[in-house]
Structure 1
Amino acid sequence: METTDPRIVLGTMDFGTRVAPDQAFEILDSFVVGGGVWLDTANCYSYWTDPRGVGGASERVIGAWLRARPGARDTVRIATKVRHNLLVPHSPESAEGLSERAVHAGVEGSLERLGVDHVDLLWAHAEDRSVPLEETVVAFGGLVAKGVTLRIGAANHPAWRVERARSLARERGVEPWTSLQLRHSLVQPRPLAPVPEGGHRLLAAEDLDLARSERLAVWSYSSLMWGSYVRADKPLPPTYDHPGTARVLTVLDDVAGELSATRNQVVLAWLMQQGIDPIVGASRVEQIEEALAARRVRLGDEHVARFAAAR
């Protein structure tokens, strides 16, 4: 994985839809003041809550914020994704895919909305097995060669497909995917239970094995389980209802008390202790302030061992 210390990534999925632009600006300002660097968005965010029925709202808000904050582009790094934006409003079956044409058109639209000449990391948001993997690999590698993106990565891809893609990139002499993004948190669903959230892929042992062997960066999403660690009105999904979850949450309360931290902060510290960059969505300034403070929470080996034993 990368040699840089793990960092909190600001997830901006709801900016411009559930989070109004003025509130998003306040969150972005607070994130930067608090030392945050990475912003995570996607060209499809968030077509499912946008009356227009297509994505782009999040990128437009970030672009407006960058224009309103001279010098901000030198402070933040921007990661966006292509694959899921709709070509026909309200029609998920029209998602753009990962053909060479779709990848290039997708990132071109992202750059326009963001108002930048390049992004720092471009993700393939999910697989597209209707397109030869080599075509996608060459398209992404070509964007690095042109300076359109500095790095590339795969979100919601199985480890074997990532390694196959990296092998194809080496054969074709183009930049390979060097980052993984998958869903991961302290609590885990029952083994082999299906993930009800469409398109989500859970981080597995083989993903971490690949990342550590090949020095790939790992980002996690849904790290705080939509607020379920701290909000009684946001219960964990039914697939997490098993004895291991109860044991882990008991340890979580104990460790949070010992370290004078919140549950959320301990979860984020646990992820960063493993070298994972957690993505944190925020709808209020105090939420991102709480998340950034997790960088000061230090988990010892004994804490980590207690969590492992609880599972």
Structure 2
Amino acid sequence: MRYTVFGRGTGLRVSEYALGTGNFGTRAGDDPLGSDLLWARRGAGADRDESRKVFERFAEAGGTFVDTADCYQFGESEELVGEFIAADRDHFVVSTKFTNGTARRPDVSGTGNSRKNMIRSVEASLRRLGTDHIDLYWAHFPDTVTPVEEILAAFDALVRAGKILYAGLSNFPAWRVSRAVAIAELRGWSPVVGIQTEYSLAQRTPDRELLPMADSLGLGAALWSPLGGGLLTGLYQRGADGWTSAGKRVIRGGDAQQRAAVIDEILAVAKETGGTPAHVAIAWVREHARRAGTGFVPVIGPRNTAQLDDYLEALELTLTEEQQARLNAVSAVPLGAPHEVSAIALDPVLGGADGVAAPTTSVA
């Protein structure tokens, strides 16, 4: 496995995959509210023994970047990660998140991005992880009420106290992130160093604002769900209610016709390369992320070692420029306003087809 720095604003070295550990643990599988909680919609998860095998296999392959959250498996994921990293803590870059808390029934005092909840959450995460510091600490989701100044000031206090080393914003819109970056810089606070967002051949809307923003500001990007929640593995069938796997999980939303075209193209490229659809989907994300910015890292979320081996095998696959172009074209999303209007307005100024007007679809 190769390594990169997490954005141009840090010297933090991370592996080219981050190991997402939302499947470490089984508490969510027993929860009656699991189907209503975003972070619990992961099936039964992996027990301690299988989670350890996944972690050790990832480490043996050279993986150092490990991503968890306090809400994953209601705190069990952090506990297992803490157990697994204990023998060589400083070798790993440990990333965790707060906002939703660990309670099965979230309450007003144990959720949100306030300074109160951040301080409470980081202390609890440090105990579960069995460490004295967190390498990269994320606000997991915007809570719609906490001012960004409060989040940034609390991050800065935690960095100065040595409890976290870096801070980032996960699932925040681009305008909130860019404003946060500017405020932290102007006030001399610890910087926002990265973003987390969903990104795959089935979800390219971050091409509109988030990824160009991250690149221009030198932020790292952790790209979760690179297989589109399993959709891009080729195991899902299209039905009236959405895409289903063995008649169980349903993936709704998105342009069904485009998704079908994307899957058809992935299957065609897989046949050409001799790899699996998952290999192709991951190889595309890795290459596209490399071209889009410094320190853009896919977050993989295997439930078992067989799934992890599939991700690792994808490291050996290099798509041709022609294959990349086909996948880019079929998965591209319209950039919308103001990008398309700007391109039209600049066209006569910059020379039309032979000029340098901005593209009207997602970055290829």
Identify the TM-score tier after normalising by the shorter chain.
0.7 to 0.9
Change in 2 beyond 3 A, CA 1:2/1:301:
farther
Q: Deviations over 1:35-65 (max 9, x none)?
A: 111111001112xxxxxxxx21100111122
Change in 2 beyond 3 A, CA 1:204/1:95:
farther
The structural deviation recorded for 1:121 is: 0.8
Matched with 2:39 is none
The structural deviation recorded for 1:274 is: 2.1
Matched with 1:76 is 92
The structural deviation recorded for 1:236 is: 6.2
Q: Deviations over 1:231-254 (max 9, x none)?
A: 245276232452222222122112
Q: Partners in 2 of 1:259 and 1:140 — Cα distance?
A: 46
Indicate conservation of the 8 Å contact 1:141/1:175, yes or no.
Answer: yes
Matched with 1:280 is 300
> Out of 314, 321, 346, which is 1:294 matched to?
314
Q: Partners in 2 of 1:297 and 1:117 — Cα distance?
A: 39
> Out of 223, 232, 243, which is 1:229 matched to?
232
Kindly indicate whether residue 53 of structure 2 is the aligned counterpart of residue 38 of structure 1.
no
Q: Partners in 2 of 1:208 and 1:6 — Cα distance?
A: 19
The structural deviation recorded for 1:144 is: 2.1
Matched with 1:11 is 20
Q: Partners in 2 of 1:132 and 1:181 — Cα distance?
A: 19
The structural deviation recorded for 1:226 is: 2.8
Indicate conservation of the 8 Å contact 1:40/1:80, yes or no.
Answer: yes
Unaligned segments of structure 1, at least 5 residues: 47-54, 190-201
The structural deviation recorded for 1:19 is: 1.2
Indicate conservation of the 8 Å contact 1:126/1:157, yes or no.
Answer: yes
Kindly indicate whether residue 118 of structure 2 is the aligned counterpart of residue 103 of structure 1.
yes
Tell me the SS of whatever aligns to 1:272. helix
Matched with 2:77 is 58
Change in 2 beyond 3 A, CA 1:293/1:147:
farther
- Calculate the TM-score normalised by the size of structure 1: 0.85
Matched with 1:146 is 161
Count of residues paired in the alignment: 287
Indicate conservation of the 8 Å contact 2:7/2:194, yes or no.
Answer: no
Change in 2 beyond 3 A, CA 1:204/1:178:
same
Larger Rg: 2
The structural deviation recorded for 1:25 is: 0.6
Unaligned segments of structure 2, at least 5 residues: 1-5, 27-44, 237-243, 290-295, 332-364
Change in 2 beyond 3 A, CA 1:115/1:130:
same
Change in 2 beyond 3 A, CA 1:213/1:57:
same
Matched with 2:3 is none
> Out of 11, 18, 27, which is 2:54 matched to?
27
Indicate conservation of the 8 Å contact 1:179/1:217, yes or no.
Answer: yes
The structural deviation recorded for 1:300 is: 2.9
Higher strand share: 2
Q: Percent identity?
A: 33
Kindly indicate whether residue 4 of structure 2 is the aligned counterpart of residue 2 of structure 1.
no
Q: Partners in 1 of 2:250 and 2:224 — Cα distance?
A: 15
| One-letter identity of the residue aligned with 1:61 | L
| One-letter identity of the residue aligned with 2:329 | A
Change in 2 beyond 3 A, CA 1:218/1:31:
same
Q: Partners in 2 of 1:126 and 1:261 — Cα distance?
A: 35
Q: Deviations over 1:230-281 (max 9, x none)?
A: 3245276232452222222122112222222221121111111122311111
CA RMSD of aligned residues (A): 2.1
| One-letter identity of the residue aligned with 1:59 | E
